[in-house]
């Protein structure tokens, strides 16, 4: 009989490697991609100023951007598109001549009006033709016109009229006190110091003017 056959040789894997692989499978998670967002700077913008819509968390493998006015992608509301490779920007139907799309996908709107208030949607196109959208918004408010408010001007005018009336009344009182005789309404109208509406041409006694 020949010598007994030796048992087949089995390659042993160090237990440290098994523990390392198990720990990696247990605790390692693939990194999550941050979601695309749009930020408005500022959110409340005065009429006639400018606003910047910034894109955050852009992917690296992009071929272009498209901006739309509104909360969704709509070809009729397209402001413009930008191709990264050629740096070419093409305006769309909703372009008013005040919008600028930058190479970082931001949208600048100058000389904003009340009609610009609302939402704006950014659509990014990746190399695999997969698209991603994000929406931002801002509000346009109207600043007060330069100068005093209308209420303040009206108050000043009223105060001046009241002051003139008081001065006129004081003058009449002093005249009455000096002459020590009553003055009729037509006589006060002749003084032209009170805003009185005279009923008509006054009728004077024959010797009245000699006493004035």
Nearest 5°: the CA angle 195, 198, 199 is 150
| pLDDT score recorded for residue 34 | 82
What band does 17 get if pLDDT is binned at 50, 70 and 90? Answer: very low
Q: At a CB cut-off of 8 Å and minimum separation 6, what does 134 contact?
A: 35, 36, 37, 38, 55, 121, 122
Instruction: Please tell me which residue, 180 or 131, carries the higher pLDDT value.
Output: 131
121-162 residue pLDDT tens: 999 999 988 999 999 999 999 987 455 455 555 666 677 776
Residue 12, judged by CB atoms within 10 A of its CB (0-12, 13-18, 19+), counts as exposed
The pTM (predicted TM-score) of the whole model is: 0.56
What band does 16 get if pLDDT is binned at 50, 70 and 90? Answer: very low
Instruction: Please tell me which residue, 12 or 139, carries the higher pLDDT value.
Output: 139
Look up residue 161 and give its two tokens.
Answer: 């009229």
Query: How large a percentage of the chain has pLDDT more than 90?
Result: 48
55-66 residue pLDDT tens: 999 988 899 999
197-208 residue pLDDT tens: 445 554 544 444
Nearest to 171 by CA among 193, 189, 190, 196: 193
| pLDDT score recorded for residue 210 | 41
Strand runs labelled E in 37-109: 37-41, 44-46, 51-56, 62-69, 78-83, 88-91, 99-101, 107-109
Q: Are 114 and 47 in contact (CB under 8 A)?
A: yes
| pLDDT score recorded for residue 3 | 55
- 3-class DSSP assignment, residue 150: helix
Rounded distance between C-alpha atoms, residue 162 and residue 20, angstroms: 93
Q: Is the pLDDT of residue 43 over 60?
A: yes
- The phi and psi torsions of 68 (rounded to 5 degrees) equal -125, 145
Look at 3-7, 55-59, 102-106, 175-179 and tell me which has the smallest mean pLDDT.
Answer: 3-7
| pLDDT score recorded for residue 194 | 43
CB atoms within 10 A of CB 67: 26
């Amino acid at each position: 009989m020949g010598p007994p056959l030796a048992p087949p040789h089995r390659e042993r894997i160090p237990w440290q490697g098994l523990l390392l692989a198990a720990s990696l499978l247990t605790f390692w998670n693939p990194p999550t991609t941050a979601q695309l967002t749009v930020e408005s700077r500022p959110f409340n913008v005065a009429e006639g100023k400018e606003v910047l819509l910034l894109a955050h968390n852009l992917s690296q493998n992009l071929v272009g951007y498209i901006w739309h006015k509104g909360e969704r992608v709509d070809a009729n509301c397209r402001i413009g598109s930008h191709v990264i490779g050629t740096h070419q920007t093409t305006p769309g139907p909703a372009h008013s001549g005040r919008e600028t799309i930058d190479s970082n996908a931001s949208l600048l709107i100058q000389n904003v009006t009340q009609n610009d208030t609302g939402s704006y949607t950014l659509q990014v196109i990746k190399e695999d033709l997969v698209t991603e959208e994000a929406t931002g918004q801002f509000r346009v408010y109207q600043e007060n016109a330069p100068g005093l408010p209308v209420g303040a001007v009206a108050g000043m005018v009223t105060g001046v009229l009241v002051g003139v009336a008081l001065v006129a009344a004081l003058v009449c009182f002093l005249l009455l006190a000096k002459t020590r005789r009553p003055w009729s309404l037509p006589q006060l109208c002749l003084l032209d110091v009170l805003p009185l509406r005279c009923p008509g041409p006054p009728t004077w006694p024959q010797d009245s003017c000699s006493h004035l």
